[in-house]
Amino acid sequence: MTLKAPHAGTLEVICGPMFSGKSEELIRRLRRAKIARQSVAVFKHAFDVERSDSEEVVSHSGIRIDAYAIHNPQEVAQYAREHDICVIGIDEVQFFPQEIIATICALVDSGRRVIVGGLDLDFRGVPFGPMPTLLAIADKITKLRAICTECGQDAHFSQRLVNGHPARFDDPIVMVGAQEAYQARCRGCFSIDRTPNW
Ligand SMILES: [Zn+2]
């Protein structure tokens, strides 16, 4: 009787606020796998790009790795099957729809190692897209911290600034003509006009 699958897959989630080094950590793990000659592929959301294309994941410090920009979560599974990929990286996974969860689970169940990086909270301090579920089903979680730009403590919020002032909870995601910026902030320095409806 087999008690354990010989090549069980795993899900690793790297989360944290902006400027916490998530992409850098994702790239580091993928590079190690590449050096060990494991088949590796990296994906990110294509957004406005009209067709899937080969691009890069670039960390804030400038470290980069080739990545495929995709629109549909199913493209990840299809590519992994067709190219016999055993280690899959997904950057900014919070931008994908909930269907990415089923895709990731199927990849892990097929014995693959899946490493995803993403923001756990949006600018309002609300859990971001598929992240809560991914964190719950993960085998391994790395919650990174940035440094608060106001006080220097550990930061786990991403402060959105519109024209230099803290964004409001109900501000639209895209504000035409506004100057936008983001900062890492600690809980004490994070500023929003109301709390989420938990
Ligand atoms: Zn602070």
pLDDT beyond 70 at 136: yes
Q: What domains does the chain contain, in order, with CATH numbers?
A: 10-144 (3.40.50.300), 146-198 (3.30.60.20)
Q: What is the pLDDT of residue 51?
A: 47
CA distance 74 to 56: 20
| pTM for the whole structure | 0.90
User: Per residue in 55-114, pLDDT tens?
Assistant: 777 777 777 778 899 989 999 999 999 999 999 999 999 999 999 999 999 999 999 999
Tell me which residues have their CB within 5 A of the ion that is ligand 1: 148, 150-151, 153, 186, 189
Helix (H) or strand (E) holding 22: helix 22-35
CA of 23 to the centre of ligand 1 (A): 23
Q: Give the side-chain half-sphere CA count within 13 A for 179.
A: 3
Output the CA angle 62-117-97, nearest 5 degrees: 120
More confident call, 13 vs 7: 13
CA of 147 to the centre of ligand 1 (A): 8
Question: Of 92, 99, 150, 180, which residue is the catalytic one?
Answer: 92
92 belongs to the catalytic site: yes
CA of 53 to the centre of ligand 1 (A): 39
CA of 112 to the centre of ligand 1 (A): 39
Q: How far is CA 176 from CA 52, 123, 191, in A?
A: 27, 17, 22
How many C-beta atoms surround the C-beta of residue 36 within 10 A?
9
CA distance 3 to 1: 6
pLDDT beyond 90 at 2: no
Helix (H) or strand (E) holding 115: strand 113-119
* Closest by CA position to 118, among listed 197, 75, 104: 104
Q: Mean pLDDT over all residues of the chain?
A: 91
Q: What is the pLDDT of residue 63?
A: 75
pLDDT beyond 70 at 139: yes
Asked if 120 and 143 count as a contact pair (C-beta separation under 8 A), the reply is: yes
How many C-beta atoms surround the C-beta of residue 105 within 10 A?
16
pLDDT beyond 80 at 3: no
Least confident span in 54-63, 130-139, 142-151, 175-184: 54-63
Q: What percent of the chain clears pLDDT 90, i.e. is strictly above it?
A: 78
CA of 137 to the centre of ligand 1 (A): 31
